[in-house]
Structure 1
Amino acid sequence: MKRTIAIAALATAALTLTGCELGPKQSVQNGHRGTGMDTVTLKKVALAKDEVPAPPYDPPSTEGPRAGAAYQNVQVLGDVSEEQFTYTMAAITAWVAPEQGCNYCHNPENMASDEVYTKVVARKMLQMTRNINTNWDKHVGTTGVTCWTCHRGNAIPANYWALPEPGKKGIIGNLHGQNAPIAATAYSSLPNASLAIYLSGDAKSDKSIRVVSDGMHPTAANKLTTMETEPQYALMMHLSQSLGVNCTYCHNAQAFKPWNISTPQRATAWYGLRMVRDVNGQYISPLKDAFPAHRKGPMGDPFKVSCATCHQGKAKPMGGYKMAKDYPALWGAPTSIPAAVPAAPAVPAAAAVSTATH
């Protein structure tokens, strides 16, 4: 009888440890032994090879007439060579609309026309891509991004979100966005408005994520309630699922709050959250009137990006492949869109020094 109970207990423990994500795991030590500093990933995701399309043809010359002089109404890539321009357009077609081709964005009888809404959107997305590659190097580094990073051959990226509808009522009244599992919160019962709270607005807005209390008892300076922590935990679950990692990828198991003992990835994530907020606030939300109804959420806002849009289950999109190096046209000035990157704060900067050992 005791053996039966012991076996049942072990089986329950195994299910508890693997209940969040099914499938074999890969564990890599990233801290001192016995500290719980192991990065755990799903093998099927971590080891899967990503499809990365090759350039449409050999990289063209950067010399020669500028695209802005050769073509009409070129508002973003006018500073690159004519050859670079057509090379980049060919790549974008394969990345976003391989079946529809150029006509997905253009009127074939007047390529300069802005009458097709997707061209207006694409122009804004090119500005966004240049802004990310030029001004958000503290997150994307020298790897950069291309349209493929998010789209992967689809007109609409597979992972997006929109503002949730106002609290729906259940048997016990207003659910306040809870007990309605969605992918954005790793199908938890936590509030589904976490992305709207932390990934919208602008890069400089004060939306700090602080779930650790500053003291044992509530005081005038320490009023963090359980209700306030719930959307923050929901966002952390979103990050974990989007990158395919556990908490210790960024945080130290000894103490989650201090920056000086966190991993360098925490600082990278700090900039990443603000970069996503910048993308949604500065580039996507202003396109509200351009998008048709079928590309908007229930509240009439455009589909927005999250960490999952680029990462798609991996700590580094496409395993860190430096695809953007083949497309220098995507690294220029964003054109008429000011940079909005906040200066590095003193505390997160401390995380740049790794205390992890291997």
Structure 2
Amino acid sequence: MTRTPTTRLRRLGAVLLPILLSAGLAGCEDTTESTQTGYRGTGMVQFTSPATREALALANAIPEAQPPASDEGPRASELYENVQVLGHLSDEEFLRTMTAITEWVAPEEGCGYCHNLENLADDSVYTKAVARRMFQMTWAINDTWKPHVQETGVTCYTCHRGQPVPANVWFQNPGPQEAQGMARTDTGQNLAEPSIGLTSLPYDPFTTLFADPAQIRVASTTRLPSGSDKTIQQTEKTYSLMVHMSEGLGVNCTFCHNTQSFSSWDLSSPQRVTAWHGIRMVSDINGTYIDPLAGIFPDTRKGPLGDPYKANCTTCHQGASKPLLGISMLQDYVAALGRAPAGN
């Protein structure tokens, strides 16, 4: 048989192809890993990679706790004027907590972010009133919403991460200015908002669904005809919120749902129950603690419709299924942030 250049290339390819394929696979064999989170055969699997885990670890690094303080001695309310929410702490624990909060929320601005430095008892700085309400909100989360935060709890750092305003907030989104002609048919979607995964779904599912979480359910609970009044628009808004949750927690739909039946609680994972409480927790803290501060916040911290910046799932989770990868900072600050003291 005559050996032509084509024959030689074929033989060379037969030898080199397995080597090249092996080298290529060896270079990417550790790029994706799967973890089964549901019954076998249900496809309830989460995917991750070493690069993703490393990035999450860096993004969720926590500051060292302040050195422990004595609980002995007079209370802060006995030593300082106008201490309205942390007066039950000892002097040492009070100063320790203030130091930690400065690091968590306003490390560059320092104490002057909330206080008039010439008179610390003065209430003229609006952020001082906001901070008091945020303490009360944190108490409520850690004490009332344990079905969602468990014993891990939250601190100011969970959301703020060293910034006066958390990186991920939302406000009522009116969309673009009203257009003319055929463009006047804006239906509240197709703006590719990052908070909903850059999808074409409704860009503000929060105003409606956090106000009334019962509206989230759009699947019928009975056989057709069900008499359900759920519309396609309502369904799209629910999907928008679900995409937001998936993006915010860095997971896919099967983290909570079995795709055999999205509506079935019996087939769902325990995380769905945790998420159910989480949605209602966010609804509560926005409605009870943040929205009422609209008259205190300056316009620079409000949306175009005048409502304050509020929390959603990404505010705490920031791409991790458990905020701060499940590490509890609360354990070092239980006295100040664990629950409301008597009389508060």
TM, length-normalised to structure 1: 0.81
Cα distance between partner residues in 1 of 2:239 and 2:50: 25
Q: 2:278 maps to which residue?
A: 272
Spell out, residue by residue over 1:175-231, the C-alpha distance to the aligned partner (whole angstroms, 9 max, x if none). 1211111112111111112011122x4xxx553421323456455x32222121010
Contact preservation (8 Å) 2:213, 2:279: no
Q: 1:280 to 1:25 in 2, by over 3 A?
A: farther
Question: Do residues 39 (structure 1) and 49 (structure 2) align?
Answer: no
Q: 1:124 to 1:42 in 2, by over 3 A?
A: farther
Q: Which amino acid aligns with 1:207?
A: A
Question: Do residues 180 (structure 1) and 191 (structure 2) align?
Answer: yes
Contact preservation (8 Å) 1:252, 1:263: yes
Q: 1:340 maps to which residue?
A: none
Select which of 282, 307, 318 maps to 1:312.
318
Across the two proteins, how many residue pairs are aligned to each other? 309
RMSD across aligned C-alpha pairs, in angstroms? Answer: 2.0
Q: 1:30 maps to which residue?
A: 37
Select which of 45, 62, 67 maps to 1:52.
62
Cα distance between partner residues in 1 of 2:32 and 2:137: 36
Q: Which amino acid aligns with 1:249?
A: F
Spell out, residue by residue over 1:13-63, the C-alpha distance to the aligned partner (whole angstroms, 9 max, x if none). xxxxxxxxxxx543211223322111234654444312200123x210122
Structure 2 stretches of 5 or more lacking a match?
1-30
Spell out, residue by residue over 1:250-288, the C-alpha distance to the aligned partner (whole angstroms, 9 max, x if none). 112221111122111111101101111111101110110
Structure 1 stretches of 5 or more lacking a match?
1-23, 338-358
Cα distance between partner residues in 2 of 1:335 and 1:276: 25
Contact preservation (8 Å) 1:244, 1:314: yes
Q: 1:14 maps to which residue?
A: none
Contact preservation (8 Å) 2:88, 2:341: no
Q: 1:234 maps to which residue?
A: 240
Q: Which amino acid aligns with 1:174?
A: T
Contact preservation (8 Å) 1:185, 1:192: yes
Counting helix residues as a fraction of each chain, which structure ranks higher? 2
Q: 1:26 to 1:258 in 2, by over 3 A?
A: same
Cα distance between partner residues in 2 of 1:335 and 1:188: 47
Structure 1 stretch displaced more, 319-328 or 61-70: 61-70
Question: Do residues 243 (structure 1) and 249 (structure 2) align?
Answer: yes
Once the 2 structures are TM-superposed, how far is the Cα of residue 149 of structure 1 from its aligned partner? 0.4
Q: 2:165 maps to which residue?
A: 156
Bigger CA radius of gyration: 2
Once the 2 structures are TM-superposed, how far is the Cα of residue 125 of structure 1 from its aligned partner? 0.7
Q: 1:335 to 1:126 in 2, by over 3 A?
A: farther
Q: 1:135 to 1:289 in 2, by over 3 A?
A: same
Q: Secondary structure at the match of 1:75?
A: coil
Once the 2 structures are TM-superposed, how far is the Cα of residue 159 of structure 1 from its aligned partner? 0.2
Cα distance between partner residues in 1 of 2:314 and 2:213: 22
Q: Which amino acid aligns with 2:333?
A: Y
Where in structure 1 do 4 or more consecutive aligned residues deviate above 6 Å?
A: 334-337
Structure 1 stretch displaced more, 67-76 or 109-118: 67-76
Question: Do residues 80 (structure 1) and 86 (structure 2) align?
Answer: no
Once the 2 structures are TM-superposed, how far is the Cα of residue 167 of structure 1 from its aligned partner? 7.0
Residue identity over aligned pairs, in percent, reads 49
